[in-house]
Amino acid sequence: MKDKGKPTGISKAMLRLLKMDPAALERVLEPQMRRQYQQALEALGAEVRNPDRERQNVSQRITQLLTSGRPAPEHIPTLTELERITREAGGTAYVEVEETLFREMARLSHPDLVPFLAEAFQYRRRYDKFAGRRREYSVDIVATIAARSGVPQAVIALGKMLSDPKPEIRGVALTIIYEAYEREGVEMPSALLEYFWQLGRNDPDSRVRRTALAVLQRLGHVSYEEAMRYL
């Protein structure tokens, strides 16, 4: 009978590799962890699609996903497809799933997510219980991508988000973008600052103008006296 306390030949090899080259061990395990994460995503998707699902089972699938490693670019199609299915289904039971999916996308913050996040920000449906949080996540993740990578499509997407017809949404987006760049310790590009200037000077809502000018003042791009001219 084998002694379960003793490492097998494979585990001994892993231990030797860990001592000699931790990075090499990570490269060996990474494909396995990515497959495991994909399987957990698919299991969560199957549970969401199940018409006889129970909330407890959905929560278990979420826990399984969160303990299955980290999201990678190859998981983006499944993540985004599952979010679309969940948002269309709607209802309180799906809020936990959407929250989880957006948090996973935030962990990834990959440029390939930008088109999907722009779409998610624009999504409108009556009685949508996750609408506000979906928009906030979308702005924050796109702003993080823009700050980290500087890809033009992310900055363009932020400009469109700042053009939302509702002033309260524009105001929240301004604050989220500013906080994302502060968090990343990166200066805003001139193209994004121009959006802030446009809102600070020309937005029809005084609260939006005030928010935009307050950010520009904190960043040293406008004086208090100059800001007051637009208020």
Average pLDDT of the chain to the nearest whole number: 89
pLDDT digit string, tens, across residues 101-115: 999 999 999 999 999
- 143-162: burial string, b at 16+ Cβ within 10 Å, e else: bbbbbeeeeebbbbbbeebb
208 neighbors 202 (Cβ within 8 angstroms): no
Please give the domain boundaries of the chain with CATH numbers for all domains.
32-48+55-108 (no CATH), 114-231 (1.25.40)
Within the chain, how many helices (H) and strands (E) appear?
Answer: 12, 0
129 neighbors 161 (Cβ within 8 angstroms): no
pLDDT digit string, tens, across residues 42-71: 999 999 988 887 888 899 999 999 999 999
The pLDDT of 86-102, averaged and rounded, is 88
Distance CA(106)–CA(133), nearest Å, equals 13
Residue 25, pLDDT > 50, answer no
The residues, ordered by sequence, that sit 6+ positions from 67 with a Cβ below 8 Å of its Cβ are: none
pLDDT of amino acid 224 = 77
Distance CA(196)–CA(51), nearest Å, equals 46
Residue 1, pLDDT > 50, answer no
Residue 198, pLDDT > 80, answer yes
Residue 7, pLDDT > 50, answer no
Find tokens 């497959």 and name the residue: 35
156 neighbors 115 (Cβ within 8 angstroms): no
pLDDT of amino acid 23 = 60
